[in-house]
Amino acid sequence: MQGPPDSGQLSSGQLPANQPSSSQPTRWSRRQILPLAAGALGLGLGGLLLPRSGGVGRQPPAGQRHPPLSPAGEGDRPLPFDPMAVLREFHTGTVRREDGRIVREFDLTADTTLLPLNPAVTFKAWALNGRVPGPTLRANAGDRLRIVFRNQDSTSHSLHFHGIHPAAMDGIRPVRHGRSTVYEFDAEPHGIHPYHCHVAPVTRHVSKGLYGLLIVDPVTPRPPADELVLVMGGYDLKGQGRNDLYAFNGIPNYYRDHPIDLYQDALIRLYVLNMVEWDGPLTFHLHANIFKVYRSGLSSTPDELSDVITMGMAERHILEFSYRYPGLYMFHPHQDQIAERGCMGHFNVVPRPING
Candidates 197, 201, 206, 196; CA nearest to 243 is 206
- In our burial notation (b when 16+ CB lie closer than 10 A, e otherwise), range 233-268 reads bbbbbbeeeebbbbbbbbbbbbbbbbbbbbbeebeb
How high does pLDDT run on average in the chain? Answer: 84
What is the pLDDT at residue 38? 39
CA distances (Å), 83 to each of 174, 241, 252, 351, in order? 29, 26, 10, 24
What is the pLDDT at residue 45? 31
Q: Is the pLDDT of residue 3 over 80?
A: no
Q: Is the pLDDT of residue 21 over 50?
A: no
Burial class of residue 100 in the structure, from the number of CB atoms within 10 Å of its CB (0-12 exposed, 13-18 middle, 19+ buried)? exposed
Alpha-carbon gap, residue 92 to 3, rounded angstroms: 9
Band of residue 23 on the pLDDT scale cut at 50, 70, 90: very low
What is the pLDDT at residue 202? 97
Burial class of residue 45 in the structure, from the number of CB atoms within 10 Å of its CB (0-12 exposed, 13-18 middle, 19+ buried)? middle
Radius of gyration of the chain (CA): 19
The mean pLDDT value for 163-192 works out to 97
What is the pLDDT at residue 96? 96
Q: What percent of the chain has pLDDT over 90?
A: 76
Q: Is the pLDDT of residue 322 over 50?
A: yes
Q: Tell me how many degrees the CA angle 67-70-75 measures, rounded to the nearest 5.
A: 155
pLDDT digits (tens, 9 = 90+) for 136-164: 999 999 999 999 999 999 999 999 999 99
Alpha-carbon gap, residue 26 to 28, rounded angstroms: 7
What is the pLDDT at residue 77? 55
The mean pLDDT value for 30-58 works out to 34
Least confident of 4-8, 197-201, 278-282: 4-8
CA atoms in the 13 A half-sphere facing the CB of 301: 0
Candidates 305, 277, 258, 299; CA nearest to 85 is 258
CA distances (Å), 110 to each of 85, 230, 232, in order? 20, 21, 19
Q: Is the pLDDT of residue 2 over 80?
A: no
Q: How far apart are the first and last CA of the chain?
A: 18
pLDDT digits (tens, 9 = 90+) for 241-258: 999 999 999 999 999 999
Q: Is the pLDDT of residue 17 over 70?
A: no
Contact 292, 268 (CB under 8 A): no
Band of residue 22 on the pLDDT scale cut at 50, 70, 90: very low
What is the pLDDT at residue 68? 74
pLDDT digits (tens, 9 = 90+) for 204-230: 999 999 999 999 999 999 999 999 999
Contact 15, 69 (CB under 8 A): yes
CA distances (Å), 267 to each of 70, 77, 223, 250, in order? 22, 33, 9, 25
The mean pLDDT value for 107-116 works out to 97
What is the pLDDT at residue 69? 62
The phi, psi pair for 62, rounded to 5°, reads: -65, 145
Q: Is the pLDDT of residue 194 over 70?
A: yes
Alpha-carbon gap, residue 311 to 282, rounded angstroms: 5
| Domains, the chain | 30-350 (2.60.40.420)
pLDDT digits (tens, 9 = 90+) for 49-85: 223 333 222 333 345 677 876 544 334 557 999 999 9
What is the pLDDT at residue 64? 65
Higher-confidence position of 269 and 47: 269
Q: What percent of the chain has pLDDT over 70?
A: 79
What is the pLDDT at residue 208? 98
